[in-house]
Amino acid sequence: MGAMLLVSAEWQDDNHVTVLVAQICHVSLILFHLEQVSI
């Protein structure tokens, strides 16, 4: 489902998808770092 949402969003606006993916990756990295620190 997530992939479908990305594809439909990409069809509408490439730039918006790029920003969205970058934000998701950034948040994932932060969460990963916090988990490593807490362990």
pLDDT at 30: 92
DSSP per position, 1-39: -HHHHHHHHHHH-HHHHHHHHHHHHHHHHHHHHHHHHH-
pLDDT at 38: 76
The pTM of the whole model exceeds 0.85: no
* Dist CA 31 CA 34 (whole Å): 5
pLDDT at 20: 86
Residue 6 near residue 17 (C-beta atoms within 8 A): yes
In this predicted model, what pLDDT tens digit does every residue of 1-39 receive, in sequence order?
A: 456 655 555 556 667 778 888 899 899 999 999 988 876
